[in-house]
Structure 1
């Protein structure tokens, strides 16, 4: 492959040793049809100059990238799944393929897979990913990035030519392999595995690795495990707040789906809110509403408590409790900041901004069936002139408090309103029915036009919002 100066391999994960991952090989797929490549993300790690044939060789056939991880590594971890501990987890249909430095930020990033074949942790699974699942994840990450949510980025989607049997969708169905670009694939569950086996030395090794590669500012901390927990808690608070501001429901907030850098990843039964509803769930199997929209901050905090429990093997309890106590205030600050940012307004101070956010959520809750989540933020963005199909809602009693509270606010970067995106009557959304409508022509006629068009519209929205 042509090596760009921006390509800077830095395979750090193998340094952890054999107890943290297993060497694996990718499946030999019958076909490799390129369906999506993220050249904007590829440019940040020096891989945008690859030809399509080279791209397929690396991300469909998984030929190693130069001076990078070889062979791929399936990570070992445990986790709580719907708060039931499961010691039989690990990368069951994916692996860490490469690690690289990001252009401009110097962050260490992973290229990880989903659907790349069986591993020692597949249990009874086939190690594959449905093509529909891959399409849904590409759409989710594009939309979340546009909305300013810390998220993995879908890097590549390749159709693999196998027919898969699935109990929760029409079968046989088409197959794919996804590659995601993420800040880290080290999970809370990675710590849990070694706590389960009472391996304090490996937990300490993991703490040192995470600080060295993701939190170097903590190198001189007196209590490194507690300092790490506090920093991870701050990132987790920012993530949870960004989900709430985006009206996003992850669906499966198990401890193996939370990583140590505070990025959202691994999108299965996600949903975006049609309208304000704290009880809205994404997963059809979440019968108790454990991971409902309004319970997501609680779920994130519970997961942080499990991480803290692991760290008791390497430090005292009191500093860990103190670190956990920082989550609530951090989440409230981050939620206020996220909503003000989504409204395109200049902050006026935490106390005033909190009143604004409360009034906004009150209006959303009382707006009725006609007021969807995303159009509210679109209509009020940067205090632009209110017009369009929802004007009567905003002039009603439900929004009286919000109108009064928002009046003194000034728009932040008002030049964004010059973007053509804001001339239309409706914002870009990603609701369930539209995803189904995008998938239908792919399934019926191999028509990828609506998929490509949707990604183009999301990119337009991303540029207009200016969050990412």
Structure 2
């Protein structure tokens, strides 16, 4: 069963085929024993004209991967290399996923529908190409929370349980299987350019630069397209790193193959939200050196962008590329202050004043007497709510902050019912595990759907 594009005002695309000859390999989706719909993101689907699909049609496209009319005729597994924990790996690529379709949203922006857990590809190596159901649930929670907190992120579009028993060494096995579909602003990674540089394919790299500029940034390539692209990536990734900090988020695996050149966050594995402002907090148990710790994420992302610049030396002058890279620290500092003030809900006053305020907030949070979520909830709009369970901590560790905030005007209204709640909406590991436990033990999906609703309600209040 398939659906015609006219039935939902979908705007399918297949522009990826212009670069597929050197960027991707045609693959087939796995045949699953079952396709049980567990989550469909109708809010995101409405933006690309696919919310009118019946559940049966949804499963046909996002569980069995029948092509969307007018879009890609077959799935494409993307080729790329990448630095993984600073070690170069030429033996990677889409190993358990593929780009299934392209669509335009209501603003005309090109988006990809990509998968996770859809079967083996030429890049699976020794993997089974599958995704655990728990991994899919965790990705839904990560993307919903990040979207609500203002982070540019891929969106969990669909989760279908597939009826296989998977064995994993890092969790109780056998465990349930699933296939996830994500909606993303492209899937072109820094590692996509690294691969072309390593293979000595500058002509193909020039074509990929043009594709990204034209299709993902909506610009015509100028006199120096590689420099034009790097400027976008430097500015965008600086904002991305800053938004992670304001959200209290730790991605966990900031390898260069996990950095999208549109600077949209994606591919969530061992992510965590840190409860406290702990710059050494890590998300991945295998990150023993803390390479991707909370406070080192900007440094890690900058390092990855340097790898993009190195690849682009095949097309552009080294000194010109270096000058663009040198702007990252200042851009990050500005974006970090803007992101912190935006989450707090106050209007910026000036660079020096704003940086001093953000520094004071971080110093006050560092002792760990108040969680990040509690602080931003209690001080929304720049005025401390009272009473609060954290009043004693505010008196001890936040002295002087009220005076610093006094000149700041609120940037959002506080009449949403969320601001009258007793507790802020958060996403700490104990809650993630409790949501999964209800599914694993009792097949109870109500806590997941309730949490998604609560996160979206918070997002409305923060908008």
TM bracket, shorter-chain basis: over 0.9
Q: 1:216 Cα shift? A: 3.1
- The CA deviation string for residues 148-185 of structure 1, in whole angstroms up to 9 with x for no partner, is 00000000000000000000000000000000000010
Q: Which moved more, 1:352-361 or 1:246-255?
A: 352-361
The residue matched to 1:163 in structure 2 has which SS?
strand
2:249 corresponds in structure 1 to 248
Which of residues 104, 107, 110 is equivalent to 2:109? 107
> Is it true that 1:394 corresponds to 2:365 in the alignment?
no
Aligned residues: 459
1:18 corresponds in structure 2 to 21
> Is it true that 1:403 corresponds to 2:402 in the alignment?
yes
1:175 corresponds in structure 2 to 177
2:336 corresponds in structure 1 to 335
Q: 1:418 Cα shift? A: 1.1
Q: 1:413 Cα shift? A: 2.5
Separation of aligned partners in 1, 2:222 and 2:329: 22
Give yes or no for contact 2:239–2:332 (8 Å, CA) kept in 1.
Answer: yes
Give yes or no for contact 2:24–2:76 (8 Å, CA) kept in 1.
Answer: yes
1:146 corresponds in structure 2 to 148
Q: 1:20 Cα shift? A: 0.9
> Is it true that 1:297 corresponds to 2:294 in the alignment?
no
Which of residues 447, 450, 454 is equivalent to 1:453? 450
Q: 1:419 Cα shift? A: 1.0
The residue matched to 2:379 in structure 1 has which SS?
helix
1:360 corresponds in structure 2 to 361
2:161 corresponds in structure 1 to 159
2:214 corresponds in structure 1 to 212
2:440 corresponds in structure 1 to 443
Q: 1:383 Cα shift? A: 2.8
Separation of aligned partners in 2, 1:342 and 1:318: 37
Q: 1:350 Cα shift? A: 1.6
Q: 1:328 Cα shift? A: 1.0
Give yes or no for contact 2:221–2:228 (8 Å, CA) kept in 1.
Answer: no
Separation of aligned partners in 2, 1:460 and 1:132: 24
Separation of aligned partners in 1, 2:45 and 2:150: 19
Change over 3 Å in CA distance of 1:5–1:440 after alignment to 2 = closer
1:43 corresponds in structure 2 to 46
Separation of aligned partners in 1, 2:58 and 2:231: 39
Q: Which moved more, 1:163-172 or 1:341-350?
A: 341-350
Give yes or no for contact 2:8–2:53 (8 Å, CA) kept in 1.
Answer: no
Separation of aligned partners in 1, 2:156 and 2:168: 23
> Is it true that 1:59 corresponds to 2:65 in the alignment?
no
Give yes or no for contact 1:227–1:323 (8 Å, CA) kept in 2.
Answer: no
The residue matched to 1:202 in structure 2 has which SS?
helix
Q: 1:222 Cα shift? A: 2.5
Give yes or no for contact 1:158–1:176 (8 Å, CA) kept in 2.
Answer: yes
- The CA deviation string for residues 185-214 of structure 1, in whole angstroms up to 9 with x for no partner, is 000000011111111111111111111112
2:196 corresponds in structure 1 to 194
> Is it true that 1:83 corresponds to 2:86 in the alignment?
yes
Alignment of 1:125-144 (within 5 A): 125-144=127-146
> Is it true that 1:423 corresponds to 2:420 in the alignment?
yes
Separation of aligned partners in 2, 1:201 and 1:451: 47
Separation of aligned partners in 2, 1:346 and 1:309: 38
2:275 corresponds in structure 1 to 274
- The CA deviation string for residues 290-324 of structure 1, in whole angstroms up to 9 with x for no partner, is 00000000000000000000000111101100110
Give yes or no for contact 1:245–1:342 (8 Å, CA) kept in 2.
Answer: yes
The residue matched to 1:179 in structure 2 has which SS?
strand
- The CA deviation string for residues 333-381 of structure 1, in whole angstroms up to 9 with x for no partner, is 1101000100100111122111111111111113x3x411111111101
The residue matched to 1:404 in structure 2 has which SS?
helix
Give yes or no for contact 2:23–2:78 (8 Å, CA) kept in 1.
Answer: yes
The TM-score with structure 2 as length reference comes to 0.98
Give yes or no for contact 2:412–2:462 (8 Å, CA) kept in 1.
Answer: no
Separation of aligned partners in 1, 2:351 and 2:109: 30
- The CA deviation string for residues 372-408 of structure 1, in whole angstroms up to 9 with x for no partner, is 1111111101134522101222222x21232221111
The residue matched to 2:398 in structure 1 has which SS?
helix
The residue matched to 1:216 in structure 2 has which SS?
coil
The residue matched to 1:418 in structure 2 has which SS?
coil
Separation of aligned partners in 2, 1:139 and 1:221: 40
Give yes or no for contact 1:230–1:326 (8 Å, CA) kept in 2.
Answer: no
Moved over 4 A (4+): none
Separation of aligned partners in 2, 1:272 and 1:61: 33
Give yes or no for contact 2:213–2:221 (8 Å, CA) kept in 1.
Answer: no
Name stretches of at least 5 consecutive residues in structure 1 with no aligned partner: none
